[in-house]
Structure 1
Amino acid sequence: MRTTDPSDDELVRRGSSALMDVLIRAGLIVVLALLCYRVFSPFLTLIAWSVILAVTLYPAQQSLARRMGGRQGLAATVLVLAGIVLIIVPTAVLLSSVGDSVRGLIADVQNNTLRLPPPRDSVATWPIVGEKVFAIWSQAHDDLPALVQSLQPKVGNLARTALGAVAGIGGALLMFLAAIIVAGIVMAFGEAGSGAMQAIFVRIIGPARGVEFAKLSTATIRAVAQGVIGVAFIQAIIVGVCLLIAGVPWAGVLSVIVLVLGIAQVPAVIVTLPAIAWLWARSDHTTGMNAAYTVLLLVAGMADNVLKPLMLGRGVDAPMPVILIGALGGMATAGILGMFVGATLLALGYQIFMGWVATSPSRSPAAPAAQSDLAAGD
């Protein structure tokens, strides 16, 4: 008859107790992580934008700090104030003007005080839609309340949608204001933050590739940001030149609007389409010239679709298609913020996968040696 060794029972009890301790501790860590995430989640988007802005602007802040005698805080403050003056203030003024215009238009329509000028005879000669536009425009000039009544509830829904869009952009602007202020604080302590980020990567991935992946993440974020801003500037210049050639008034102001919209990843056709409508309705050009200018403005408004693939992946140790797919997929999933996160994640994933492929057993030093021995035996 087999007897049980008391020492074996003691080992089993100790193993069970140790396993229970590990499970309890792991469970407590998971609960703590979930609670921390719940507390931190309202600020997650703000912190993510702040880190993106800080990583993007850090080289400029360092260059400015060297010229200011190494005063990191002052250099970060100057960049924050410059960002507020150059981006946030003009955008806020534009949004306020748009909101006032929409509210004024709604009030005029409701009070029957809105008057439209009669359409020109040339409107009827527009290709495809000319006669229909001329008829609707003439009806709006003759009896606008009847036209508005016939289009209900579409007009009301459109007005509410427009006001909602303006309010949403205003909220995003306030978030961007807070993000750039937090980014200034992060840049002021950039050296310590960079060291902490590298330490985190090294702790997670290991000392062999931790620093490399930290640099890759930084380069990807900067490449995407510079690609977005660079594309916005180039497209604003192209659209501005096209507007000047076509003789559209306020071409400079419209090009600045295109620049702001491009940085916010809003299509430039929002500006070019009204300009095209003005050409056909108010300009003195011939039909052929208006058609040529229409094509020119449409191409200029969609130039970012060609420029982004050319500029997004520059300076990153990953193929351009990887960065582009990551940026576009991330933007489709989580908006503008997802564009940066998606490109960074896909670049890191690509490097990890290619590193795994490079360490394949078929590429080990023993394989070529074995093959040479076989060849010698033959």
Structure 2
Amino acid sequence: MNNQTPDDKKQSQFFINNMVESAIRVGLLFILLAWSYGIVKPFLIPVLWGAIIAVALMPLTVKLENMLKGKRGLSATVIAFIGILILIVPFVMFSISMVESVEGITSTISSGTLKIPGPTERIANIPIIGQQIFDVWQLFSTNLEKAFTKFLPQLTSGLAMMASVIGNSIVSILMFVISLLISAAFMANATSISKSVNTLSVRIAGAHGEEWATLCTATIRSVLLGVVGVACIQAFLVGIGVFAIGLPTAGLITILVLVLAIAQLPALLVVAPVIAYVYSIHDSTTATIFAVWTLLAGLSDNFLKPLLMGRGLDIPMPVILLGAIGGMVSSGILGLFIGPVILAIWYQLFNEWMHESEKADSQAQ
């Protein structure tokens, strides 16, 4: 038996109509957001990189702006142009060197004049892997044709991997060039963008929004100094050693150390084999001096990171480092900056929650 009055029926119908209307609006909003995301997705990573680069380089832009008598647009453009040159010039030089090396090796192989010097007994005395290296090296030095036939699958795989790395590097360089141009636009309009970001932060997070926006900026700069800065110092120190001793692949070794250090992997992965190779071709004194220098350079991040990472922040260095490593593992180079920002905000939230709990306990007493 239905005991609903006409007013109850009207209210029920009104509620159902509102629910249906709200569901339609929410559905349309989600569809709009999905379409919008699909449209901006190709530009999302370059824009994020542009924002990170702009935050990191803004102090330098401000200094240059003061030198150029307040011309911020010009100073941002100059900074971006220098960054593009720093990216492109070494890559072009390395590419030309690689092409010339490959052409020279190909020409030598075709003429039949390629001779690989045999290994010394020191190679065989290297623990664990020495004998295997000695045997392979010996085969290439005595019977090149047989060696190529035997290791053809590995050589083909290696060349394919190298081609893939070069292709990915070109795409990455192009993306960073676009990101630098975007960062120039961000830096040129930094004042208005900063106000908008602070307003949005307050709108989203309330009273602490502006404080957290400042925290994000400081965290990005701290990661740049503590991770990228330390990586550059490590690569520079290792580079001094390998160039001083005259290794033919000194430039490649330096770049590999830089990449590993940014990826938060130990530089010893590159340094240790190089030290073993130097011991096989140089006298003990020279090789020992080189080993000590490169080992110190390879391990320098252990004392440089605590000095540089987290400077000017109330966030503990382990939190920043954990965010950098975790972000790198989950999201690549971009995560290297986003990870510490997220953990820093969570750390601040946890502290606020703890302080609120302590205040509530003290008021209750």
TM-score in same-fold range (> 0.5): yes
Aligned-partner residue type, residue 315 of structure 1: G
Work out the CA distance in 1 between the residues paired with 2:270 and 2:29.
Answer: 52
Asked whether the 8 Å contact 1:216–1:317 carries over to 2, the reply is: no
1:217 aligns with 2:233: no
Aligned-partner residue type, residue 35 of structure 1: W
Asked whether the 8 Å contact 1:326–1:339 carries over to 2, the reply is: yes
Asked whether the 8 Å contact 1:237–1:255 carries over to 2, the reply is: no
TM-fit CA distance, 1:175: 0.9
- Structure 1: gaps (5+ residues): 369-378
1:342 aligns with 2:330: no
Where does residue 146 of structure 1 map in the other structure? Answer: 146
Work out the CA distance in 2 between the residues paired with 1:316 and 1:24.
Answer: 46
TM-fit CA distance, 1:209: 0.5
Asked whether the 8 Å contact 1:326–1:343 carries over to 2, the reply is: yes
Work out the CA distance in 1 between the residues paired with 2:93 and 2:99.
Answer: 10
For 1:207-246, list aligned pairs within 5 A: 208-243=207-242
TM-fit CA distance, 1:82: 1.3
Where does residue 316 of structure 2 map in the other structure? Answer: 319
TM-fit CA distance, 1:88: 2.7
Aligned to 1:228, the other structure's residue is in SS state: helix
For 1:1-378, list aligned pairs within 5 A: 4-98=4-98, 100-102=100-102, 105=105, 114-120=114-120, 123-124=123-124, 126=126, 129-206=129-206, 208-243=207-242, 247-248=245-246, 257=255, 261=259, 265=263, 268=267, 272=271, 275-276=274-275, 278-283=277-282, 285-286=283-284, 290=287, 293-294=290-291, 296-304=293-301, 307-360=304-357, 363-368=360-365
Aligned to 1:70, the other structure's residue is in SS state: coil
TM-fit CA distance, 1:197: 1.0
Aligned Cα RMSD in Å?
A: 3.2
Work out the CA distance in 2 between the residues paired with 1:265 and 1:102.
Answer: 29
Asked whether the 8 Å contact 1:109–1:145 carries over to 2, the reply is: no
Aligned to 1:14, the other structure's residue is in SS state: helix
Asked whether the 8 Å contact 2:323–2:339 carries over to 1, the reply is: yes
Work out the CA distance in 2 between the residues paired with 1:100 and 1:225.
Answer: 35
Asked whether the 8 Å contact 2:327–2:337 carries over to 1, the reply is: yes
Work out the CA distance in 2 between the residues paired with 1:251 and 1:135.
Answer: 23
Of the two, which has the highest radius of gyration?
A: 1
TM-fit CA distance, 1:216: 0.8
TM-score by length of 1: 0.84
Work out the CA distance in 1 between the residues paired with 2:25 and 2:162.
Answer: 52
Deviations 1:252-299 (A, max 9, x none): 96786468647864865576356435523432x12x763564364245
Aligned-partner residue type, residue 162 of structure 1: M
* Stretch moving more, 302-311 or 187-196: 302-311
Work out the CA distance in 2 between the residues paired with 1:147 and 1:2.
Answer: 92
Asked whether the 8 Å contact 2:237–2:294 carries over to 1, the reply is: no
TM-score by length of 2: 0.86
- Structure 2: gaps (5+ residues): none
Asked whether the 8 Å contact 2:323–2:342 carries over to 1, the reply is: yes
* Stretch moving more, 256-265 or 212-221: 256-265
Change in Cα spacing, 1:11 to 1:106, as seen in structure 2 (3 Å) is: farther
Work out the CA distance in 2 between the residues paired with 1:221 and 1:126.
Answer: 43
Asked whether the 8 Å contact 1:91–1:260 carries over to 2, the reply is: no
Identity of aligned residues (%): 34
Change in Cα spacing, 1:86 to 1:152, as seen in structure 2 (3 Å) is: closer
